[in-house]
Copies of this chain bind each other. A is one copy, B any other.
Amino acid sequence: MSTPESGLPMVVPAQDLPARVRIHEVGARDGLQNEKGTVPTEVKAEFIRRLADAGLTTIEATSFVHPKWVPQLADAEQLFPLVSDLPVALPVLVPNERGLDRALVLGARQVAVFASATESFAKANLNRTVDEALAMFEPVVTRAKAADVRVRGYLSMCFGDPWEGAVPIHQVVRVCKSLLDMGCDELSLGDTIGVATPGHVQDLLAELTEEGVPTRAIGVHFHDTYGQALANTLAALQHGVTTVDASAGGLGGCPYARSATGNLATEDLVWMLQGLGIDTGVDLARLTATSVWMAERLGRPSPSRTVRALSHKEQ
Chain A at the B interface: SS class: loop
Q: How far is the CB of A204 from chain B (nearest CB, A)?
A: 9
Q: Which of A198-237 contact B (CB under 8 A)?
A: 198-200, 202-203, 224-228, 230-231, 233-235
| Most B-side CB within 10 Å, residue of A3, A226, A315 | A226
- Could you tell me if B10 and A160 are in contact, using CB atoms closer than 8 angstroms? yes
Q: How far is the CB of A296 from chain B (nearest CB, A)?
A: 16
Q: How far is the CB of A295 from chain B (nearest CB, A)?
A: 13
| Most B-side CB within 10 Å, residue of A5, A9, A259, A301 | A9
- Could you tell me if B275 and A197 are in contact, using CB atoms closer than 8 angstroms? yes
Known A-B contacts A160-B10, A165-B10, A203-B12; the reply to A225 vs B309 at CB < 8 A is yes
- Could you tell me if A159 and B10 are in contact, using CB atoms closer than 8 angstroms? yes
Q: CB of A4 within 8 A of chain B?
A: yes
- Could you tell me if A225 and B3 are in contact, using CB atoms closer than 8 angstroms? yes
| Most B-side CB within 10 Å, residue of A202, A268, A305 | A305
Contacts of A235 in B (CB 8 A): 14, 234
Q: How far is the CA of A5 from the CA of B1 in the complex (A)?
A: 39
Known A-B contacts A5-B165, A195-B4, A276-B198; the reply to A309 vs B260 at CB < 8 A is yes
Q: How far is the CA of A228 from the CA of B160 in the complex (A)?
A: 23
Q: CB of A242 within 8 A of chain B?
A: no
Q: CB of A247 within 8 A of chain B?
A: no
Contacts of A197 in B (CB 8 A): 9-10, 12, 271-272, 274-276
- Could you tell me if B200 and A259 are in contact, using CB atoms closer than 8 angstroms? no
Sort chain A's interface into a size bin: 35 or more
Q: CB of A18 within 8 A of chain B?
A: no
Q: Which of A227-267 contact B (CB under 8 A)?
A: 227-228, 230-231, 233-235, 255-256, 258-262, 265
- Could you tell me if A3 and B165 are in contact, using CB atoms closer than 8 angstroms? no
Q: Which of A68-119 contact B (CB under 8 A)?
A: none
Picked from B9, B159, B199, B200, the residue with its CB within 8 Å of the CB of A226 is B9
- Could you tell me if A258 and B312 are in contact, using CB atoms closer than 8 angstroms? yes
Q: CB of A192 within 8 A of chain B?
A: yes
Given contacts A5-B162, A6-B165, A228-B230, 9 further A-B contacts (CB under 8 A): A3-B195, A4-B160, A4-B193, A9-B197, A10-B195, A12-B199, A226-B305, A227-B265, A228-B275
Can you list 5 A-B contacts with CB-CB less than 8 angstroms, sorted by A residue number?
Answer: A3-B193, A4-B193, A15-B202, A195-B275, A231-B234
Closest 9 CB pairs of A and B: A197-B275, A14-B199, A227-B268, A227-B305, A12-B200, A12-B199, A10-B166, A230-B231, A2-B162
